[in-house]
Chain A
Amino acid sequence: MKRTTRNRLVAYSFLLPNFIGFLVFTLIPVIAALGLSFMKWDSYSPMRFVGLRNFQTMLKDSSFKIAFWNTLYFTGLTVPLTIVVALILALALNKGLRSVKVFRAIHFFPHVASTIAVAVVWQFLYHPDMGPINQLLRLVGVSDPPRWTASVTWAMPAVIIMSVWKSAGYYMVMFLAGLQGIPGHLYEVATIDGATAWQKFRYVTLPLLTPTLFFVLTMNLIYSFKVFDQIYIMTEGGPGRATMVLVYYIYLQAFVNQNFGYASAMAAVFFLLILGVTIFQFRLQERWVTYLD
């Protein structure tokens, strides 16, 4: 048997168990996702092609617009806050503390814990009248503390704070790995040249950490766009539509209202949003990311 043919046969027998599942349950749905967005389909009447009508409906749908802006609001605050907190913690932890592993584990744990359980606890902590957070605020003199998840203004910040708390440790671990990858001799050279601590951070640490920063930023953006679990538990998109985000609205339209076609069109827009931001990120990369080699 020819070598290529033999290799092919062997390779496919290794691939087959995974590939069949991948093809049927991932690849085909990916392709179908696009097609569905041009259909009207409410699962009671047969599917029919409606061209761009779903997308026109979206433009007139105030809930969709609110969900879109709320998703940007959530992401726009969660991402920078998480990154700043994670970076500060990583820098503090990297500077020769003896029990790095213990602190790393403590900070990483909220990321591993289920969002559902954690959101339930935070909902109690946020309780406007009896919750410990507001009790504490009253104790330090805030006579009229925010009503958190019960308030149109404060519901989103409440979800954001909880989300930053949950994922900061995860990105801190990434930053720590990045910091440990910076060669020590660069700092020695800088010391010999008489650089101050700030200068070392500004001209050695920060530039060499940009690949990690880039990776963290990309991941964190995608992750934040997908926010769902904490919204479902803590606010159900409310009060009113104050915390209605895209994935929650897509879920409602598809699995509660059975508007599969319309929901698919919104899912397509959601994907374009993620794809667009990610491509933009990669384009911008050359301008600010420094690779050592």
Chain B
Amino acid sequence: MRKRRILLLIPILLSSAIMLLPFAWMLSASLKTNVEVFKFPIEWIPKNPQWRNYVTIWSKIDFGRFYFNTIKLTVIITLLQLATCSLAAYAFAKIDFPERNALFVAYIATLIVPFQVIMIPQFILFRRLGLVNRHLALILLQAFSPFGVFLMRQFYLSVPNELVEAARIDGLSEFGIYRKIMLPLSKPALASLTIFTFVFVWNDFLGPLIYLHSGHLRTIQLGIRMFISQYTAEYALIMAASVCSLIPVVIVFLACQRYFVEGITLTGLKG
């Protein structure tokens, strides 16, 4: 038994190393000089760590502005999604009205249409509305996600109808039921949706690439892309910028790991 356990541990340890080494290399390179970055054999812990790199990147490009833009978009989109999706999901899960199924099918149908397929008509629409090159375009684009409605509805379905009925008999309004019963019960689903949205908006590249053209509007992902094209040979600085772009996601991931996994099982396997 012991022997078998060790045998199983070998592939897992090996693949863990493969998963982590690129990040370790990135961190280590971010603390080197450009000459040292590609030295071989790799010096994992730099003898002379260049902490200065982390100061330089903020002055070389408008990194602070990119950070602020990304945080702004992430917070606004996530809050709007939580509010509008949880409300709509309540109607789909707990209120009986004639067009319920037809409307829900429309939501589900668009879920299988990838963003890449509708990005052109969306862009044309936003250009007509005069919203291209404004943060509002991305906010409107991502705040009403059918995925969020789907996820919340799946969770609400697991709340017994008897509970809702009993509250109705007690004279609670529908909004009261939503606010006082459903929302408190659905904390895990809300947490999963928050994390999904946060990670998606933070990491999104194609959306900002299409909509945000002016330098002062750029998000962090666009900022990194700009950094690489402007300072091709500044290897260490590019790595430092990449590390900075990952930090918020690392923090959220470490703090809320279980919701990532719960979110996967909620939307996927039990369907």
CA gap between A105 and B258 in the complex, in Å:
9
Q: Determine if A116 and B221 form an interchain contact, defined as CB atoms under 8 angstroms apart.
A: yes
Interface size counted on chain B using CB atoms at 8 A:
89
Q: Determine if A232 and B120 form an interchain contact, defined as CB atoms under 8 angstroms apart.
A: no
Question: A139 → chain B, closest Cβ, in Å?
Answer: 8
Q: Determine if B206 and A228 form an interchain contact, defined as CB atoms under 8 angstroms apart.
A: yes
Q: Residues of A contacting B25 with CB < 8 Å? A: 121, 124-125, 132
Is B224 an interface residue, CB under 8 A from the partner? yes
Interface stretch of the complex, out of B57-65, B106-114, B158-166: B106-114
Partner of A117, one of B12, B112, B174, B242: B242
Q: Residues of A contacting B15 with CB < 8 Å? A: 85, 89, 107, 168
Is B225 an interface residue, CB under 8 A from the partner? yes
CA gap between A24 and B265 in the complex, in Å:
30
Interface stretch of the complex, out of A76-84, A93-101, A149-157, A183-191: A93-101
Question: B76 → chain A, closest Cβ, in Å?
Answer: 13
Q: Determine if A255 and B210 form an interchain contact, defined as CB atoms under 8 angstroms apart.
A: yes
Q: Determine if B144 and A30 form an interchain contact, defined as CB atoms under 8 angstroms apart.
A: no
Given contacts A11-B95, A26-B144, A130-B38, contact A177 B120 (CB under 8 A): no
Is B103 an interface residue, CB under 8 A from the partner? yes
Q: Determine if A36 and B120 form an interchain contact, defined as CB atoms under 8 angstroms apart.
A: yes
Encode B1-14 as 1/0 by CB contact (under 8 A) with A: 00011001101100
Is A199 an interface residue, CB under 8 A from the partner? no
Question: B40 → chain A, closest Cβ, in Å?
Answer: 4
Partner of A174, one of B16, B121, B264: B264
Q: Determine if A120 and B88 form an interchain contact, defined as CB atoms under 8 angstroms apart.
A: no
Q: Residues of A contacting B149 with CB < 8 Å? A: 18, 22
Is B67 an interface residue, CB under 8 A from the partner? no
Partner of A97, one of B8, B88, B121, B257: B8
Q: Residues of B contacting A131 with CB < 8 Å? A: 38
Q: Determine if A97 and B246 form an interchain contact, defined as CB atoms under 8 angstroms apart.
A: no
Q: Residues of B contacting A237 with CB < 8 Å? A: none
Q: Determine if A127 and B245 form an interchain contact, defined as CB atoms under 8 angstroms apart.
A: no
Q: Residues of B contacting A121 with CB < 8 Å? A: 22-23, 25-26, 239, 242
Q: Determine if B119 and A254 form an interchain contact, defined as CB atoms under 8 angstroms apart.
A: yes
Q: Residues of A contacting B228 with CB < 8 Å? A: 120, 233
Encode B219-254 as 1/0 by CB contact (under 8 A) with A: 001001100100000010011001101100110011
Q: Residues of B contacting A263 with CB < 8 Å? A: 120
Is B140 an interface residue, CB under 8 A from the partner? yes
Is A66 an interface residue, CB under 8 A from the partner? no
Question: A197 → chain B, closest Cβ, in Å?
Answer: 9
Is A17 an interface residue, CB under 8 A from the partner? yes
Smallest CB gap from A123: residue in B: B228
Q: Residues of B contacting A54 with CB < 8 Å? A: none
Q: Residues of A contacting B11 with CB < 8 Å? A: 88-89, 92
Is A250 an interface residue, CB under 8 A from the partner? yes
Question: B49 → chain A, closest Cβ, in Å?
Answer: 18
Question: A170 → chain B, closest Cβ, in Å?
Answer: 8
Is A146 an interface residue, CB under 8 A from the partner? no
CB under 8 Å from chain B, chain A span 156-181: 165, 168-170, 173-174, 177-178, 181
The 6 closest A-B pairs by CB, nearest first: A21-B144, A130-B38, A18-B88, A32-B121, A14-B91, A18-B84
A contact residues vs B (CB 8 Å cutoff):
4, 7-8, 10-12, 14-15, 17-22, 24-30, 32-33, 36, 85, 88-89, 92-93, 95-97, 101, 103-110, 112-118, 120-122, 124-125, 127, 130-132, 135, 139, 165, 168-170, 173-174, 177-178, 181, 211-212, 215, 219, 222, 225-226, 228-229, 232-233, 247, 250-251, 254-255, 260, 263-264, 267-268, 270-271, 274-275, 278
Instruction: Provide 17 A-B residue pairs closer than 8 Å at the C-beta atoms, listed in order of the A residue.
Output: A14-B91, A14-B95, A14-B174, A29-B122, A30-B121, A33-B117, A36-B121, A106-B16, A114-B202, A116-B224, A121-B242, A124-B37, A135-B41, A165-B18, A233-B228, A260-B120, A268-B117
Given contacts A25-B141, A32-B124, A33-B113, 8 further A-B contacts (CB under 8 A): A11-B91, A14-B174, A116-B245, A117-B26, A120-B239, A124-B25, A125-B22, A233-B225
